[in-house]
Structure formats: C-alpha cells, structure tokens
C-alpha cells in the first residue's frame, strides 16, 4: 500500500513550480491556496508584501491547510513565530524545507526546545545561492583591487587626477575563504578562474582539489597573514561569533580586501572600522551585518572604503525555480526513505 504524503505550500510560489512539486510522485497531495499567500513584490520574495493581511476566515484556512500536511514548503509566514506555532499545532509534521541557505538562525529564534526539534526535520536551501553569492564575492574582490570606490568618488567630483594610481592584479594574488562549504567552494572556483591562489578553513580539515591549504579556525591567523583578499561565508553560530575581531584583522597584511557574504555576527564591526582606519583592510564589501537592517547611524553607510549591500547578494531571478528543484529532489529522497541533505543542526543552529 502506497503511503500518501501531503505537502503544504506556506510561502508565495509560482503556480508552475507548484505543479513541478505535484509531479514528483502520484502519492503526493499538494495543498496550495494562492489567495492565502502574500503577493511577491519581486522574484523570490518569500515573505511577500508586508501590507498583506488575511481575513479571520482566511487565517483559519491558512493554518488548517498547514496542519493537514506532513511536509511544508517554507516556514509559516516565513517567520520564527510561524515555525514555533506549527511545531505546536501539527503533530503529523515530518519535515519543513526552508527558503534560506542559513535557516539555523530562524530555527533558533523560534525558541523551540530540543525535544520538539527532534520531532521533525528542517532542511535549508544551501547551495542554491552559492553561485550568486560567489559572483558577488568576486565583485567585492575586483572592486577592492581595481579601486572602484575611489573611481566613483572622482567621477562624482569630476576629478581627473594629475597623478595616475595603478590598480592591483587579481591574477597571482592569494585568497582566503573562511568556510569551504558549497558557497565557499564556488567562490574558490571563480577566484581560481581569475588566477587567484586559494586557501581556506573548514571544520573538518581535509584535502580539497584546487585549494592550496585547508585549516580549521585555529589556523586562520596563519592563513590571514598571507592573504591579499578574504571572503567570509561562515554562518552565525556561537563558534563563529566575532571570529573576525581585532586579532584577526591585525593578522592580515596591510591593504587586504575583505568580503562578507556569510553572517554579520561573524564580524566585529568596530574592529573592522578600526582595520579600515589603520589600513589593514583597504576595502570591505559587506552583504550582511550584525544588526539588520543596518542602523541608520552606522558609520558603515558612509565609509568611503565600504560597499553596503542590503543582504540581497544571494537573490536572483532564478531563485524560486532553483529552490523548487532542490525541494523536488529532496521530496523524492524523503519518499524513498533516504537521508535528507542540508539538515539544520539543532545544536549549533546552522
């Protein structure tokens, strides 16, 4: 007898992608009520229009739909509070697939205890965002090496400097990537295509093709001392909190380019500002911050050697399709009784 599985779509999603999920297996029933979901304002707007409000009747229908499912596509209302509520109301829940690559923070913020978190699995969309994040990291490296911030300032001032300032060659330079997971390895691939020599960190130290040296965080200072550019892809965990502090920036060579596409909590922003001030860091390209949205009074907004990106570097027009394809693959694995990839670690929350 074939076991029936019900999937509920908890976040905005195009109808054609819902049909792809339905097509995974005849045993799958997909619950999808677009009138209960906020309209997207842009591609892959998983939270949808913040002004959207359900009527009381719609709200009841929304939660009734989610409580009928063993599998959820997205966190309810794309929020930690929604995750906490469904965990308490849906006793049949087996698995939730999160839209984010780094969903551990939201799981932690839900406040669910360890026993509750053992009742169902949470997978992330890690890997889907690897290419756009790696391309953004390459942009940050090139901006720093090619002095794009100074060029923009001169252009705004209509200034043609009397003394021409050379730029730096990316080819032959050394890159350190903290976090050689899928994002880190994709960053390394692009960097090597530009002629960079790449080393990096990984929790489990092992040889990786194309990576000159791999260490854990204990060996980070030694890597930083040789780096011309550093890209952080690490998630926010108690073990990575302010990993890039005064000691890490002091270990860098003067003029290092720093890019952060991981989590903002990995960087001590005061220490980064000091490093920018004393020249240890020549340029910083930042997509993530300790507090988001970045507070209006943060000096990072107006720093002449900083690019601020509002945590959007992972976004692409293809994101919904890529996440849906990842979910379909995972759903097939789930139906076949296999081990789901990219599970959220409910101890370290990454």
Catalytic residue among 46, 129, 174, 263: 263
Q: Which of 189, 311, 321, 348 is catalytic?
A: 311
Q: How many CA atoms lie within 13 A of 26 on its CB side?
A: 2
Instruction: Report d(CA 172, CA 265) in Å as an integer.
Output: 31
Q: Known catalytic residue: 311?
A: yes
Has 22 been annotated as catalytic?
no
Using CA atoms, how far residue 70 sits from 87, 91, 92, in Å, is 11, 9, 6
Which tokens sit at 129?
């965002």
Given 16, 41, 292, 332, which residue is catalytic? 292
Task: Determine the Cα–Cα distance for residues 241 and 238; give it in Å rounded to an integer.
Answer: 5
| Cis amide leading into 293 (omega within 30) | yes
**Consecutive H or E run containing 187:** helix 182-193
Number of separate helices (H) and strands (E) present in the chain: 12, 12
Distances (CA, A) of 73 to 187, 202, 220, 324: 28, 30, 37, 9
Whether 46 contacts 12, CB under 8 Å: yes
Contact present, 180 and 201 (Cβ < 8 Å): yes
Tell me if residue 60 is catalytic: no
Q: Which two tokens stand for residue 62?
A: 């929304």
Q: Please identify every residue annotated as catalytic.
A: 263, 292, 311
């Amino acid at each position: 007898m074939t076991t029936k599985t019900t999937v509920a779509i908890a976040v905005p999603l195009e109808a054609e992608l819902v049909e792809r999920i339905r097509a995974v297996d005849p045993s799958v029933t997909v619950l999808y009520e677009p009138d209960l979901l906020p309209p997207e304002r842009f591609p892959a707007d998983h939270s949808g229009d913040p002004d959207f409000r359900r009527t009381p009747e719609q709200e009841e229908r929304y939660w009734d739909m989610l409580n009928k499912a063993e599998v959820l596509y997205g966190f309810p209302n794309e929020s930690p509070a929604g995750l906490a509520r469904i965990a308490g109301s849906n006793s049949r829940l087996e698995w939730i697939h999160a839209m984010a690559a780094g969903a551990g923070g939201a799981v932690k913020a839900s406040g669910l205890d360890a026993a509750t978190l053992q009742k169902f699995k949470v997978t992330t969309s890690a890997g889907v965002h690897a290419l756009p994040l790696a391309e953004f990291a390459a942009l940050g490296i090139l901006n720093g090496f090619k002095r794009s911030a100074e060029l923009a300032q001169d252009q705004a001032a209509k200034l043609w400097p009397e003394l021409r300032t050379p730029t730096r060659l990316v080819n032959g330079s050394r890159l350190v990537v903290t976090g050689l997971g899928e994002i880190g390895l994709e960053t390394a691939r692009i960097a090597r295509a530009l002629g960079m020599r790449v080393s990096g960190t990984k929790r489990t130290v092992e040889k990786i093709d194309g990576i000159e040296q791999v260490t854990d965080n204990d060996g980070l200072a030694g890597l930083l001392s040789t780096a011309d550019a550093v890209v952080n892809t690490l998630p926010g965990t108690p073990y990575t909190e302010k990993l890039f502090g005064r000691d890490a920036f002091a270990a860098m060579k003067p003029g290092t380019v720093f890019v952060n596409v991981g989590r903002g909590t990995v960087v001590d922003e005061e220490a980064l500002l000091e490093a920018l001030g004393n020249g240890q860091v020549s340029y910083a390209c930042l997509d993530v911050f300790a507090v988001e949205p970045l507070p209006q009074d943060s000096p990072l907004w107006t720093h002449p050697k900083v690019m601020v990106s509002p945590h959007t570097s992972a976004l692409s027009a293809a994101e919904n399709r890529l996440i849906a394809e990842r979910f379909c693959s995972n759903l097939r694995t789930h139906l076949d009784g296999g081990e789901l990839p990219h599970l959220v670690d409910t101890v370290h929350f990454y």
